[in-house]
Chains A and B, each alone.
Chain A
Amino acid sequence: MLGFHMVKIIFASAMEQYTRGEKEIRINVTTYRQACELLMREFPLLNKETLSEFSVAIDDEIIHEPLLESFELNSVVFFVPKIAAG
């Protein structure tokens, strides 16, 4: 796909119930939004509410509200449980 990047998405363990046990996937996307759309198509059990339960770490930076984030070529994206605190 022209203009898209190969991005490695790594799921949090809590997401594996929605990803048929898949721990990671490589997809061609440039933004978080595109990634979510593609992931929801690939894994129908994943929905917006579930995805919003997680922060993402894009190339080692944890982002709590990733809606408008974009990816670099070969970005590595981890879904990370949201951290609250005292």
Chain B
Amino acid sequence: MSGQTSSEYKYIGTRSIRPDGADKVTGRANYGADFFLPGMVHGKILRSPLAHAKILSIDVSAALAMPGVLSIATSEDLPDMNAGTESAGEGEVDFYDFSCNVLAREKVLYHGQAVAAVAATSEAIARSALDKIVVDYEELTPVLDLLGAQKSDSPLLHKNQTTEGPKGKGKTPSNIAKQMMLARGNVDEGFSEADVVVEKTFISPIVHQGYIEPHACVVRTNESNQIDVWCSSQGHFMVRSFMARLLAMDVSNIKVTPLEIGGGFGGKTVIYLEPVAAILSRKAGRPVKMVMDREEVFRATGPGSSSIVKVKVGAKSDGRIVAMEADITLNAGAFKGSPMMPSMMCVFTPYTCPNMKVTGKDVVTNTPKVAAYRAPGAPQSHLAAECVVNEIAKRLNIDPIDLRLLNAVDEGSPTIYGPKFKAIGLKAALTEARSHPHYASALSDNQGRGVACGFWFNVGLQSSATINITESGKAVVITGNPDIGGSRASMALMAAESLGIPLDQIKPIIGDTESVGYNDVTGGSRTTFASGGAVIKAAENLIQDLKRRAAKLMDIDVELVQWIDGQAVAPADLDKKPLSLARLARKAGATGGPLTATATQTARGAGPSFAVNIIDVEVDKETGSVDVKRVTVLQDAGKAIHPSYVEGQMQGGAVQGIGWALNEEFVYNEKGVMENPGFLDYRIPLASDLPMIDTVIIEVPNPGHPYGVRGVGEAPICPPMAAVTSAVNDAIGCGADFQLTELPLSPVKVLDAAEKLMG
């Protein structure tokens, strides 16, 4: 289907001009750092110079005495918190840990952790004041190695943390926060039946989401204990909830206005600056602006987890996979809570294999607390699983796509975490991949090809939408999710389709926390699905109201009125002129007042996504550098509401996955200090590094959405690391025994592996 406009719909599936485009390309759009208030002062954070230390004392007196310094915040200004996880929004949060990550208490657990903050009349004064704060530390040995952290003699980050496992809490303190297992069938029996077994361990580094806009906010407090926040985030309701919890306030006392967001990819589903700015503002009596610099973003915000994943797969000689086993260790950073569970749940989900066992460990180290990064945990585990499946294919001399088709899940297949799939598009994506011209193209010398697939659940959660009709008949569609990937355009398209009015009669806007009902974060590929669903419901509610009003004006029974192409239409034999939305808007005063409709939902029926990649690379055997030659990404997007945005998500995910495979990593020295905290040394792929990425949208409609939407943001990052790694191993001639198993595949590693193969 490749993103062609579907004749089934008038607006959905078209490539409309993005409503926010002109403001963004002309610089008019306001991002986090662009916002100013009268009387505003500047806040700066003092960060830990050590990766692991006890805080013995903090003396702020000299800083506070400086002219121009208005307030100082430390953890003593934060309310006490009880340790322990609790439900908060999408998942579990330990607010004691969260509070320590906002401003350190007792210990610092990574280099760059926030220790204190200053608000001053200028940024320069605030920076100078940070130098006057005296912190007395007792330095401790940093724990940086994911394997070493698990040893019984490792220094401990948290003296009270024991391992939570299927049998309960452990007795001894440990850096292993959690240990879990999923299983079905009997893997030992499965492996005993296998004709070929491959077992390999793959390692991936800590990586950053690479959003371009640093975290920024402006916070104003007043004498009535009201807080106004302007910030860039993946969810202003999330900001409100977390601030309220961290500051022990009622959410009703906090209003958050979203500004444009310059990328997040999961990294802006948490907060760092806003509670600190609130404390500083409260003490200073002035609005406070805080903006991170790039170095702070790298050192002190949540990256994606590093991982060690061992995978073992057994197959019959005909290609049927009979046993799959994985042992997944993910780095949580300084506080528990890596995406271990989704990593475990995704690793083998593309396969029907009857015997599976997956164990997982959540391990803390003296590195920043990780945050979500597109399909959190899944790319790391897919890296190992998909590479091993490719090795199996090579050993059995079976085409890797054919092998996957033979073992691919379909409607009715069970997942390792329980439920069976409804309609899904993995087989359709694999079939399209097999027949794609890319797959039939020849490779040149020193080139290799890798294929891989990936899975993400997609989620629903809570959304609200309001549609207000102006006096002239335009529809203002208000939702509460920051537009991070084109949601204004998709909301407008769904509203136009539902109301039957032209797209230029729709104005999509993002409401603040007091202008629209609650919305969960923009994440999990949920916004087009769930908030779009709320827009559709609001449109349906509005149409019912419009029909009632039209019936009054036509003086007929409401049951006789139909809503067709944006007009209320009476049966032809009644000889009544249709009433357009504009006409009904003009008559609103006489028919019951302004036209407005609202809908809310906890969306159900989220449809999972599968993605498939074909990636060709060329290896320079003299330097070890890898050139990506051709990339084709295929994904079951459900109905593509705006195909260009869907393709953009697919291409963006592929680029991030390729960067993760080839270039990106947090490099720490032995003291736990990151040595590459900037985009010069932390190298994300540039447009000039990559070929045009070919996209194929597979549209297997999600039965759980009125237009068949699945959501597209997560799955595209799942296959690229495995596809690139397989392609590079292929290019250097590894055959059925991959030598390159540790990312990133830097020239040195590639050269070493190539030379080893040549003996």
Contact = CB atoms under 8 A, between A and B. Distances in A.
Contacts of B169: 17
Contacts of A12: 417-418
Contact of A85 (B165, B375, B422, B602): B375
Contacts of A10: 418
Given A86-B269, A86-B375, A49 B86 contact: yes
A60 B420 CA distance: 5
Interface stretch (A26-34, A35-43, A62-70): A62-70
A1 interface: no
Given A13-B180, A53-B87, A57-B418, A82 B92 contact: yes
Contact of B341 (A60, A81, A86): A81
Nearest to B714: A85
A14 B179 CA distance: 9
B345 A86 contact: no
A61 B457 CA distance: 12
B181 interface: yes
B211 to A, nearest CB: 11
B523 A84 contact: yes
Nearest to A79: B418
Contact of A63 (B90, B182, B420, B604): B604
A78 B372 contact: no
Give the dominant DSSP class at B's interface: loop
B90 A53 contact: no
Nearest to B183: A13
A11 to B, nearest CB: 10
Interface string B443-471: 00000000000001111111000000000
B500 interface: no
Contacts of A14: 164, 166, 180, 341
A16 interface: yes
B342 interface: yes
A21 B372 CA distance: 31
B39 interface: no
A65 B459 CA distance: 12
Contacts of A16: 166-167
Counting chain A CB atoms within 10 Å of each CB, the highest count among B372, B375, B417 belongs to B417
A52 to B, nearest CB: 5
Interface in B164-189: 164-169, 180-183
B638 interface: no
Contacts of B264: 86
A85 B459 contact: yes
Contacts of B704: 61
Given A14-B166, A63-B604, A86 B87 contact: no
Interface string B604-632: 11100000000000000000000000000
A83 interface: yes
Interface in B246-276: 264-267, 269
B32 interface: no
Contact of B166 (A17, A57, A62): A17
A60 B526 CA distance: 19
A44 to B, nearest CB: 14
Contacts of A7: none
A53 B269 CA distance: 19
A61 B605 contact: yes
Contact of A83 (B164, B180, B267, B342): B342
A86 B373 contact: yes
A65 B461 CA distance: 8
Contacts of A83: 90-91, 341-342, 345, 457, 459, 524
Contacts of A13: 166, 180-183
B47 interface: no
B562 interface: no
Given A53-B85, A85-B266, A60 B422 contact: yes
Contacts of B168: 17
Nearest to B460: A64
Given A13-B181, A63-B604, A84 B417 contact: no
Contact of B419 (A62, A82, A84): A62
B209 interface: yes
Nearest to B269: A86
Contacts of B547: none
Interface in A40-59: 49, 52-53, 57
Given A53-B87, A85-B375, A86-B524, A80 B417 contact: yes
B525 interface: yes
B376 interface: yes
B361 interface: no
B612 to A, nearest CB: 20
B488 to A, nearest CB: 20
A64 B167 contact: no
B44 interface: no
Contacts of A57: 418-419
23 contacts: A14-B166, A14-B180, A49-B86, A52-B87, A53-B87, A64-B459, A64-B461, A78-B418, A80-B417, A80-B418, A82-B90, A83-B345, A84-B89, A85-B342, A85-B375, A85-B456, A85-B459, A85-B524, A85-B714, A86-B209, A86-B265, A86-B374, A86-B713
Interface of A: 10, 12-14, 16-17, 21, 49, 52-53, 57, 60-65, 78, 80-86
The 4 A-B residue pairs whose C-beta atoms are closest, nearest first, are A86-B266, A78-B418, A85-B524, A84-B90
